[in-house]
Chains A and B, each alone.
Chain A
C-alpha cells in the first residue's frame, strides 16, 4: 500500500487521522506507533516481523554502545555488529544475488522492505552519533520504534538524525490548521506523482522502445528530459506526501528537495537535490574522511567518490556510481574553473544540460546502453528529428511544459512576491477548492488501477 493508492487515501489516512485525534493527548504517540505497525502489517506480516527484528537489534545495540561509552573497545563490538546487520539487510534486499537464499528461508516472492535504504541510513547515522558520543541514547523504546517505522516517513524518508526526529515528535503542534497545511502538501505530492511523474514515465518508456541505432537526437533529448523530471517528481512527490501526512499529526519533517531544477550552477543543484540524503553522506562519510587528509586534491577526490557512493545508493549498480561521480566531478570542475556570476536563465539551461548528460547513466541499465544513448543525443545516428520525436513532442508537450514549470521555483516566487496584495489573497481563497479539486483529479487518474505504483527505483 503506497501513499498514492485509493485504499490509503480513502480508508487508511482518514481513519488514522480520526483515531489520532480522538485519542487523549498523552497517548497520541502510541496511536501513531500502532498505526505505523498496522501500515507495515497491511503490506504483509513478513514486513512487520522484519521491522520488529530490525528495531530490536538496533535498539539493543544502541543501548549497549551507550552503556560502554567510556570503554570504546567494548562499545565497538555492538556498534560494528549492528552496522553490519543493517548493511547486510540492505545488500540482501537491494541486490539480486540473494533471491534464492530469500526464497529458501521462506520469504514470499518479490518481498521488499519498503524504504529500507532510507531508514538504514538514518539508523546508522544515529548509531555513529551514539558511538562517537555526540548523542546520548534514548531509553524510550517506543520513540525509537516510531523513529524507524513512522509510516509517513517509511516509504521515502526523509533521512533524519534521531535527535531531530525526537524533537519533531516532542514538539509537535497538531490541530485543524496543521491538518490543512498537511493536506495541501500531501495533495501537492500526490499530484506530482500521479499527474506529472506517471505521464512522464509513459514518455520515458515510449522513448525506451526505440532502438539505440534508430534514436534521433531530439527523441533522445526528450527521453532524458522526461526521465529527469519523472525521477524528480517521483522522489519529491513521495517525500511531499510523507511530509504532508506527518504534518497532519503535527510532526514537521524536513523537505528533501528545494527546486533543484531551477539551479543556475551544478553546485546549487547538488545542494538542493535530495538534501537530507546528501547531508547524511557529507556528515558521516565525507567529513570524517577528509579530516585526516591534508592534500586539497585528495580531498576533492574523496568528495567526488562520496558522490559516486550516493549515486550507487540510488541504483546499487555501476551506472548509479558513475552518475554520482559525474555530478561530483562536474561540481568540482565548475568551482575550480568558473568563479564568475552567471545569468539566471543561461545558468539554468547550462545546469540542466550537464545534469541531463550525467543522468543518462542513471536512466540506462548498462554502461554500453548509456554510451549508445549519449551518442544518439549528440546526433551520432545522423538523425536530428524524425516522426517519432515529432509525435512525442506533440503528444507530451503539455505535460513537459507543466513539468518544467512546476519543477522550477517560478510559481512559488510569484506567490512570495505577491506578498500581501490581492493576488495572494485570491490564492488563499481558492486554495481549499483547488486542493480538494486536485485530490479528485488524482483520484480519477488512478481510479482504473487503484494505485500509482511506479517508483522508478526501489529505495
Chain B
C-alpha cells in the first residue's frame, strides 16, 4: 500500500506544480495591482549582458512572483499564517492589535545630507523658512511596537534633523503635538500617514507661527467620504483583520473660494485640479482624494485678498494639510520634490514668496536625492 500511496503523492504534487505553472503561462497578466497599489514587474528582456550578470534571472524571478496565479489571495494567507506561527511582523510591518505599524525606522539613513541641502536652499533665498517634520504612525504609536525596537527612534531622528538645520529656519514641533493627542483618530490604521484631523491639529500651531490665527474646528464641517480606505501599509501586508480607515474632507464655512488650482508636470503641461476630488475614491489609493496623484508643481489661487504668497515644499504628508492653508493666503505654490525632475528655479521664482513652508514626513528625510533639484 505504501507503494501506491507514494505514487499518488507523485501524481498529486506534480499535478499541483504543473497546474500552477500552466495557470501562470496561460493566465491573464495585469500590469498594475489594484490591491497592492503598484506596477507589477514587466516581462524581462533577454539580453546578453543581463544574462551574464544575473539581472535576467532576477527579473524573471520577480516577474514570475508578481504574476503568480492567485497572488493576492496567497499573500493575504501568508500574512495570516505568519502572524500565527511567529511574531506579528509581516513583510516588515508590525500588526499591532488594531493598527499596522512600519518598523523599519531604525534602518533609515542619516538625515544630515538632506539638512545640508535644505540649509543651502534657504541661504540662497530671501523667503522666511519654516520646517514641519511629521512622524509616521510608528513614531506616534511607538509604544505598541515590539519591545526590542528602539522606542522613540523617530523622535530622535526628528531632533537630530532639527539640530542640523541652520538657525534661521523656524522649526515646528509636530511630534509632541501628535504624541499628546494619540488617543484621537490622528493617524490611519492601515497607512503610515496622519489623518486630516491629525493634520488639522498641527495646522493650528503652524499657522500661528506663520502669523495668522487658526480657524477654529467649529468653523468646519467634516464629511466622511469613505469608510473603506486601505493604505500603504495594507498594500505591503495585505492583512485584512484591521478595520479599514475613514477618509474625511474638511469644508470651511467661510467666504474664501478657490479661484484656481492648476497642476504642472515636468514638461510644463497644465491641468485643472480640485483640492479634494471625490472621484479619486475609485482609484487604487484613496488618499489621492487630497490634491490627486502627486504632481511636481501646483499653483493655488484663492479669493483671500491679502496678497500673501506661500511656497510649500512637501511630501505626501502635505496633501491633506494644504487645504487648511488656503484660508489664509491669496496664492500658494506647492512643490513635491519626489516628482520633480527639473530644477526648481525653472518653474518657480522662490524669492517672490515671502514664506516657505516645508512639510515632510521623517521617512522621506533620509532620501537626500529629493532635495538635490531644489538648489539647481
Stretch at the interface among B63-71, B265-273, B290-298: B63-71
* CB pair B81 A441 closer than 8 Å: yes
Q: Which residues of chain B (36-84) have a CB below 8 Å from chain A?
A: 51-54, 56-57, 60-62, 64-65, 68, 71, 74-75, 77-78, 81-82, 84
Q: Is B181 an interface residue (CB 8 A)?
A: no
**Per a CB cutoff under 8 Å, which of B3, B8, B14 touches A14?**
B14
A443 to B16 CA separation, bound complex (whole angstroms):
11
Question: Is the C-beta of A74 less than 8 angstroms from some C-beta in chain B?
Answer: no
How far does the alpha carbon of A397 sit from the alpha carbon of B65 in the complex, in Å? 31
CB within 8 Å: A-B pair count: 168
Complex interface: chain A residues within 8 A of B11 (CB) = 176
- Residues on A with C-beta less than 8 A from B177 are none
User: Considering only CB atoms, which chain B residue lies closest to A14 in the complex?
Assistant: B17
Distance in Å: Cβ of B166 to nearest Cβ of chain A = 33
- Identify which of residues 88-146 in chain A touch chain B, using a CB-to-CB cut-off of 8 Å: 108, 111
| Alpha-carbon distance between A387 and B17 when the two chains are bound, in angstroms | 44
* Nearest-CB residue, chain A, relative to B50: A44
Interface centre among B6, B74, B85 (most CB of A within 10 A): B6
With contacts A181-B6, A202-B89, A448-B78 taken as known, whether A1 is within 8 angstroms of B61 at the C-beta atoms is: yes
Within 8 A of A (CB), among B257-304: none
Q: Note all chain B residues with C-beta closer than 8 A to A187.
A: 13
Q: Which of B141-149, B309-317, B318-326, B336-344 contacts A (4 or more CB under 8 A)?
A: B141-149
Judge whether B12 is part of the interface by a CB distance below 8 angstroms: yes
- Interface hub of A181, A195, A433, A444 (most chain B Cβ within 10 A): A444
Task: List the one stretch of A4-12, A342-350, A364-372 in contact with chain B.
Answer: A4-12
Could you tell me the distance between the alpha carbons of A447 and B147 in the complex, rounded to whole angstroms? 28
Whether B1 and A428, one on each chain, are in contact in the complex, defined by CB atoms closer than 8 angstroms, is yes
Given known A1-B57, A388-B147, A428-B1, contact A445–B87 (CB-CB < 8 A): no
Q: Is the interface of B mostly helix, strand, loop or mixed?
A: helix
**Binding-face segment, B18-26, B186-194, B199-207, B222-230:** B18-26
Cβ-based interface call for A210 (8 A)? yes
* Whole-angstrom CA separation of A180 from B13 in the bound complex: 8
Q: Residue B306 at the A interface, CB < 8 A? A: no
Given the interface pairs A183-B10, A395-B88, A399-B85, the reply to whether A108 lies near B53 with Cβ below 8 Å is yes
Q: Give the nearest-CB partner of B13 in chain A.
A: A183
Is A163 engaged at the interface, CB distance under 8 Å to the other chain? no
Q: Using Cβ atoms and an 8 Å threshold, which residues of chain B touch A445?
A: 78, 81-82
Residue of B nearest to A433 (CB): B12
Question: B65 to A449, Cβ gap below 8 A?
Answer: yes
A206–B148 contact, CB under 8 A?
A: yes
Q: Which residues of A contact B91 (CB under 8 A)?
A: 448-449
Given A180-B6, A447-B75, A448-B78, CB of A44 within 8 Å of CB of B52: yes
* Count of chain B residues with a beta carbon within 8 Å of a chain A beta carbon: 50
B320 CB, min distance to chain A CBs, angstroms: 29
Contact partners of A17 in chain B: CB under 8 A: 14
Residues of A within 8 A of B149 (CB): 209
**What is the size, in residues, of chain A's interface with B at 8 Å between Cβ atoms?**
68
Question: Contact between B61 and A451 (Cβ–Cβ < 8 Å)?
Answer: yes
- Determine whether the beta carbon of B61 is less than 8 Å from that of A179: no
Let me know if A45 and B51 touch, CB within 8 A.
yes
Say whether B163 faces chain A, with CB atoms less than 8 Å apart.
Answer: no
Q: How far is the CA of A294 from the CA of B7 in the complex (A)?
A: 55
The CA of A181 and the CA of B5, in the complex, are separated in Å by: 10
Q: Does B253 contact A (CB under 8 A)?
A: no
CB-contacts of A428-454 with B (<8 A): 428-429, 431-433, 435-436, 439-441, 443-451
Chain B residues in 8 Å Cβ range of A42: 57, 60
- Chain B residue nearest in CB terms to A402: B85
Min CB–CB distance B195 → chain A (angstroms): 27
CB-based closest 6 A-B pairs: A450-B65, A180-B6, A44-B54, A395-B87, A447-B74, A108-B53
Not counting A180-B5, A399-B85, a sample of 17 additional A-B residue pairs whose C-beta atoms are within 8 angstroms of each other reads A9-B17, A10-B24, A10-B68, A17-B14, A18-B18, A42-B57, A44-B57, A45-B51, A47-B54, A111-B53, A199-B85, A203-B87, A436-B12, A445-B78, A447-B75, A447-B77, A449-B65
B-side interface residues toward A, CB under 8 Å?
A: 1-3, 5-14, 16-18, 20-21, 24, 51-54, 56-57, 60-62, 64-65, 68, 71, 74-75, 77-78, 81-82, 84-89, 91, 106, 146-149
A-B contact pairs, 23 of them (CB 8 A): A6-B61, A7-B61, A14-B14, A14-B21, A15-B21, A42-B60, A43-B57, A44-B52, A47-B54, A111-B54, A177-B6, A180-B5, A183-B10, A209-B106, A209-B148, A210-B148, A398-B84, A428-B2, A435-B13, A443-B74, A445-B81, A448-B78, A450-B64
- Which A residues lie at the B interface, using CB under 8 A? 1, 5-7, 9-11, 13-15, 17-18, 41-47, 108, 111, 176-177, 179-184, 187, 195, 199, 202-203, 206-207, 209-210, 386-388, 391-392, 395-396, 398-399, 402, 425, 428-429, 431-433, 435-436, 439-441, 443-451
